[in-house]
Amino acid sequence: MSKSIPYSHQCIEEDDIKAVVEVLRSDYLTQGPKVQEFEQHLSAYCGAKFAVSFSSGTAALHGAYFAAALGGGYEIITSPMTFLATANAALYLGARPVFVDIEADTGNISPALIEQAITKKTRAIVPVHFAGHPADLSKIAETVKKYHLIMIEDACHALGGRYLKGKIGDCRYSDMTVFSFHPVKSITTAEGGAVLTNNAGLYEKLVMFRQHGVTRNARAFLNKENYLGQWYYEMQYLGYNYRLTDIHSALGISQLRKLDRFIQKRREIAKIYSQAFVDNPCFQTPIEKDYAESAWHLYPVRLKDRYKAKKAEVFAKLRARGLGVQVHYMPVYLQPYYQQLGYKKALCPHSEDFYQREISIPIFQSMSEDDIDYVVKNVLGVFQEF
Ligand SMILES: *Cc1c(COP(=O)(O)O)cnc(C)c1O
């Protein structure tokens, strides 16, 4: 029997399909009632005042950075152990990402190293909750406060996770939290994203940025003397069309109802793996800090020294057994585009070491018991081939 199990996969059920089809039969495919409904459910789930949906997690990051007034001459501090978009969205606005190294165990930005990276140009700190495991937000918040900065959580891995009993997305320690609803994430809208915030001013800017920088809110008009009738609107910023559609939003509403079940399943799989691989001589398993409940977006194992140089071989053997393993991530600054911008190798040694050891094995809500067994057997089996 040969299997093929991806590292992650969406879980779409009949009621999800029905919700989407209902919108297709309705009057509004986009800019209709489902968008706000999704946003209301999402903000209520997370415990934040506002949610603004976007057409992708990347667009949501762009919006959050814009709302934080990032622009030319400013810097954000983030981790290189992330998807490209975290850093790219700063470049979109002419700002510069400054990379701070990670903690070797969680793969999250090291709070102790942030302070020395702060300059006069620093505007925001952007912790990424790597693999769904929350970064140490209260520690990072101390530095944010001390230097009067903004904190934006890249929580694209972490919807459904918790930090110190609070839900990721409640923005208790941050100004904004960004989610993605790509099919590999906790819930999906196909493409989609959102920014959560408790700040009404940021909320207004996010809503405008998503739609060409336009407002129809009469109280916010800058040229009130131009107002002649109900058709009037004002463009006050250079925004984009970053809207999520009603089709996507309906899927999001339906998926959100299942989020707790999805996370519970991911947590169960992680537990099975961590028991099956306990004290493994070949690789280390991911941990959960006492302040964290991971959303287990990924299950990142790290090869021990004797296999580090053989990672490509281990990876190929896992793939040959039908495990759709992946690597998260090559540090962003090692990409050719970033190298051309002048970022140097060895900038973040822990991140580079992590990259050389890391392999993400399959974990997602629709895995069967058979799939889980298959992964365990074959991960253990691969190392017997050496
Ligand atoms: C997925 C992801 C993004 C981008 O989200 P998209 O919806 O794919 O645009 C950004 N940051 C991280 C950490 C991600 O995993």
Query: What is the set of domains in the chain, with CATH numbers?
Result: 5-256 (3.40.640.10), 259-384 (3.90.1150.10)
Find out whether the beta carbon of 126 lies less than 6 Å from any atom of ligand 1: no
Task: Provide the 8-state DSSP code for 327.
Answer: -
Nearest of 329, 330, 358 to residue 345 by alpha carbon: 330
pLDDT in tens, 186-219: 999 999 999 999 999 999 999 999 999 999 999 9
Q: Taking 60 as the threshold, does the pLDDT of residue 34 lie above it?
A: yes
Closest residue to atom 7 of ligand 1, CA basis: 57
**58 phi/psi in degrees, rounded to 5:** -65, -45
Whether the CB-CB separation of 42 and 256 falls below 8 Å is answered with yes
Q: Which atom of ligand 1 is nearest to the CA of 193?
A: 7
Find out whether the beta carbon of 133 lies less than 6 Å from any atom of ligand 1: no
Find out whether the beta carbon of 156 lies less than 6 Å from any atom of ligand 1: yes
Find out whether the beta carbon of 82 lies less than 6 Å from any atom of ligand 1: yes
* Residue among 109, 182, 189, 330 whose CB has most ligand 1 atoms within 8 A, to mutate: 182
Q: Taking 80 as the threshold, does the pLDDT of residue 254 lie above it?
A: yes
* Residue among 91, 156, 181 whose CB has most ligand 1 atoms within 8 A, to mutate: 156
Q: Is 176 exposed, middle or buried (0-12, 13-18, 19+ CB in 10 A)?
A: buried
Q: Which atom of ligand 1 is nearest to the CA of 182?
A: 7
Q: Picking from 48-52, 159-163, 226-230, 349-353, which range would have the lowest pLDDT averaged per residue?
A: 226-230
Residue 2: per-residue pLDDT:
75
List the structure tokens of 354.
Answer: 């992590």
d(CA 286, CA 203): 35
Nearest of 209, 241, 185 to residue 57 by alpha carbon: 185
Q: Which atom of ligand 1 is nearest to the CA of 61?
A: 10
**182 phi/psi in degrees, rounded to 5:** -60, 150
Q: Which atom of ligand 1 is nearest to the CA of 130?
A: 13
Instruction: Give 314's contacts (C-beta < 8 A, 6+ positions apart).
Output: 303, 307, 359, 382, 383
Find out whether the beta carbon of 86 lies less than 6 Å from any atom of ligand 1: yes
pLDDT in tens, 49-78: 999 999 999 999 999 999 999 999 999 999
For 40, 56, 183, 244, 287, the CA distances from 36, given in Å and listed in that order, are 6, 16, 21, 10, 37
Find out whether the beta carbon of 154 lies less than 6 Å from any atom of ligand 1: yes
Closest residue to atom 10 of ligand 1, CA basis: 85
Nearest of 220, 209, 215, 206 to residue 235 by alpha carbon: 215
Find out whether the beta carbon of 141 lies less than 6 Å from any atom of ligand 1: no
List the structure tokens of 94.
Answer: 């002419």
pLDDT in tens, 294-318: 999 999 999 999 999 999 999 999 9
Find out whether the beta carbon of 242 lies less than 6 Å from any atom of ligand 1: no
Q: How far is the CA of 99 from the centre of ligand 1 (A)?
A: 17
Residue 165: per-residue pLDDT:
85
Average pLDDT over residues 362-367: 97
Task: Please report which confidence band the pLDDT of residue 1 belongs to, taking 50, 70 and 90 as the band edges.
Answer: low
Find out whether the beta carbon of 318 lies less than 6 Å from any atom of ligand 1: no
Q: Taking 60 as the threshold, does the pLDDT of residue 38 lie above it?
A: yes
Q: Which atom of ligand 1 is nearest to the CA of 60?
A: 9
Q: Taking 70 as the threshold, does the pLDDT of residue 125 lie above it?
A: yes
Q: How far is the CA of 57 from the centre of ligand 1 (A)?
A: 5
